[in-house]
Amino acid sequence: MQRSGMLSLMDAQARDTWYRSLEYDNFPEISEANILSTFEQLHQNKDEVFKRGVINVFRELSWNYKTNSPCKFGSKSLSTIW
């Protein structure tokens, strides 16, 4: 997972779920089909994972600051992805 870069595509919740499945021997057999299926699933869910990641970031922010309002994105929203 680390070499493939797939962990960087996952939000914290998805990574936590992945690591938990490894701890409990609940992981799929390593095969080309399973690897491709995992990549495909991540690709199909990339928008949902991104949205969930943004929502989780805002949940962790302090509401004591006007710019951290979870109700809207202001003109000062920054992203280093684009």
Residue 25 falls within a domain, yes or no? yes
Residue 18 falls within a domain, yes or no? yes
What pTM was estimated for this model as a whole? 0.54
Q: Are 9 and 49 in contact (CB under 8 A)?
A: yes
pLDDT tens for 24-81 read 766 778 888 988 888 888 888 888 888 888 888 878 877 777 666 666 665 665 566 6
Residue 40 falls within a domain, yes or no? yes
Residue 69 falls within a domain, yes or no? no
Residues 44, 68: Cα–Cα separation, whole Å = 30
Residues 38, 35: Cα–Cα separation, whole Å = 5
Question: Which domain covers residue 22, as residue numbers?
Answer: 6-59
What's the total number of domains in the chain? 1
- Answer yes or no: is pLDDT of 82 > 60: no
Q: Which two tokens stand for residue 35?
A: 């690897």
Residue 47 falls within a domain, yes or no? yes
